[in-house]
A and B are shown apart, each in its own frame.
Chain A
Amino acid sequence: MNVEVKTYRKGEIPGIIAIDGQNCRGCDACKRYCPTGAITGMFGATHRIDRDRCISCGQCLINCPFGAPYETVDTVEEVQAKLGDKRYTVAAIIAPAVRVAVGEPFGLPAGSLVTGKMYGAMRKAGFVIVDNNFAADLTIMEEGTEFIQRARHALFGEKAEHGGEIGPLPQFTSCCPAWVRFVETNYPSLIPHLSSAKSPQQMAGAVAKTYGAERIFKVDPEFIYTVGVMPCTAKKFEASRPEFQSACNFVKERGGASPGTPYPDVDTVLTTRDLARLLKRMKIDLAAENNAEGGTLFAEYTGAGTIFGNTGGVMEAALRTAYVVLTGNNLAKLEFEEVRGLRGVKSASIQLRDAKYGKDVTLKVAVVHDIRANIRPIVEDVLAGRSPYHFIEVMNCPGGCINGGGQPICDTGSSWIGRILPSFAWS
């Protein structure tokens, strides 16, 4: 593996996913899930992953019938060591999709909602809770406000408050690190359309090490160790991006103690599978835990934050807030059924009256998941300037984060034909 990698910057982890040649039967199942065609190898021969094309989404990993793809980064032992080190406050940033899947490795039925048990188990292990749902709410505030600004700029010619640049419509969500890397490697001309808001994980890390260090935990940010607990393998890549040292720079600019080595906003990332492994190593049985509270300000979240893990969830949460901000009225019904479900591309139009300008507007939004199958026509429309939409949510994995590459593995995946086809491979 001494091949030079080109699409990674210094400091970034190249190739989170690799294929174990010993286990690969060459059945091509992974190729049917790969969004970028990064997997090469003839049918029947051992497959390889082109790390430059790979966006680290991990769909091949959870769908391989032989368990051949594996994660090259494993920080379970490192996190366990930090939990044992009393100098450190170890903050777990727990993604929404983890609470409905982490019960599965402990014998609970698929989809059991175990927020309380999870808090209990993790606090027993020594974590403090920074629920990523809190950061999801924060994302809605930032990304939603950005969207309103872009929409008012495009529709009514509103200028930015400080004369800054305002991005074009449609605005794409930027929560999914695999999607962001997909844009960066395949459609860089779409970058102005991406929301400038960080993903919830990175917001949580930056907030925990600035506001959290100062007001909530009351410790030196250098001694806060943030652990993303994510349903996602691409989050490991995202956390290693060099620009995500904003908390360190922020503290330094304001005359805080200058750290010996710059620290990242999110120190390391565990997948849901990694978390289950860590808890089992520490002999904590999540299923037997009592329900516990989060115990910090950062554990307060709303229903809008928690649905981020489903496809359509970010859009629905953004619409709930954007509607209220734009019209000044409350929504009669909070559920936007049009953006729910497993159809490839879901769209909705919302008629509302902008209270500030006193004009009627029809907002057109779209939700895309499973980008392998669904994204290209949408992107081509945007590039050609004929996209009817104002706001587009994109999640790489089919079904959203709840089916992410870091989730517990359920036999051979989301496709029924996928269960049958590997039987025809010669091994």
Chain B
Amino acid sequence: MSEKKKPYDYVESPFMLTRREFVIIGGIIIALLAVPVVWLRSALVNRNYYIKARTKGLYQDDVSSKIRMSHENPAIARFYKEFAGHPLSAVSEELLHTTYVNRMNALS
């Protein structure tokens, strides 16, 4: 081993990175990976944002209502007292109920 003499004291490896180069290249790779992660994450967080916003708006309307149960609505009570009598009465059946039709045969 000692017989073979090295031609050079120091050989620079072409694949060797300096600390500075390692930090720069590593930074670029992490940045490239992070971009789609951030993009997907924001898409996930914002998904259905307007559905959620509108849902919240209606529940807020519910909470701020003084009366929160249908049968306690004075206007409904007045409607039944003056006009329809009671739910499922003859007037109700005529005005507030309906029937449905089979449309499947036409489709087949």
Q: What is A's interface to B at a CB cutoff of 8 Å?
A: 6-7, 9, 52-53, 96-97, 99-101, 104, 109-113, 115, 134, 136-138, 140-142, 144-146, 149, 161, 174, 180-181, 183-188, 191, 194, 196-198, 202-203, 206-207, 210-211, 215, 243-244, 246-247, 249-250, 297-298, 300-307, 309-310, 313, 317, 320-321, 324-325, 334, 340, 342, 398-400, 402-403, 410, 414-416, 419-420
Contact = CB atoms under 8 A, between A and B. Distances in A.
A300 B94 CA distance: 23
B29 interface: no
Given A198-B96, A300-B74, A403-B51, A113 B82 contact: no
Contacts of B50: 104, 110-111, 403, 410
B76 to A, nearest CB: 5
A111 B50 CA distance: 7
Nearest to A214: B83
Nearest to A301: B73
| Most A CB within 10 A of own CB, among B51, B71, B73 | B51
B70 A113 contact: no
Nearest to B90: A162
Interface stretch (B7-15, B19-27, B61-69): B61-69
A391 B103 CA distance: 24
A110 B70 contact: no
Contacts of A398: 48, 51
Contact of A303 (B52, B67, B97, B99): B67
Given A144-B87, A215-B83, 17 more contacts: A9-B101, A99-B57, A109-B53, A110-B50, A111-B52, A138-B70, A138-B79, A186-B104, A211-B82, A246-B98, A300-B74, A302-B69, A302-B70, A303-B64, A304-B69, A320-B69, A414-B48
B82 A310 contact: no
Contacts of B49: 110
A112 B73 CA distance: 25
Contact of B88 (A100, A142, A250, A301): A142
Contact of A138 (B68, B96, B102): B96
A230 to B, nearest CB: 15
Contact of A304 (B70, B92, B95, B97): B70
Nearest to B92: A142
A149 B96 CA distance: 16
Contact of B94 (A53, A145, A250): A250
10 contacts: A97-B58, A101-B54, A111-B53, A134-B76, A146-B87, A149-B88, A181-B103, A183-B100, A304-B62, A320-B69
B3 interface: no
Nearest to B105: A188
Given A99-B61, A111-B56, A306-B61, A211 B101 contact: no
B43 interface: yes
Nearest to B74: A300
A109 B47 CA distance: 16
Which 8 interchain pairs have the tightest Cβ spacing?
Answer: A111-B53, A100-B57, A303-B68, A303-B65, A303-B62, A140-B70, A188-B102, A145-B87
A215 B58 contact: no
Given A100-B57, A186-B104, A142 B96 contact: yes
Nearest to A415: B47
A395 B75 CA distance: 27
B17 interface: no
Contact of B102 (A110, A191, A306, A307): A191
A318 to B, nearest CB: 8
Contact of A243 (B70, B96, B99): B99
Contact of A317 (B43, B63, B70): B70
A102 to B, nearest CB: 11
Nearest to A135: B96
A194 B101 CA distance: 11
A203 B96 contact: yes
A113 B65 CA distance: 13
Nearest to A134: B75
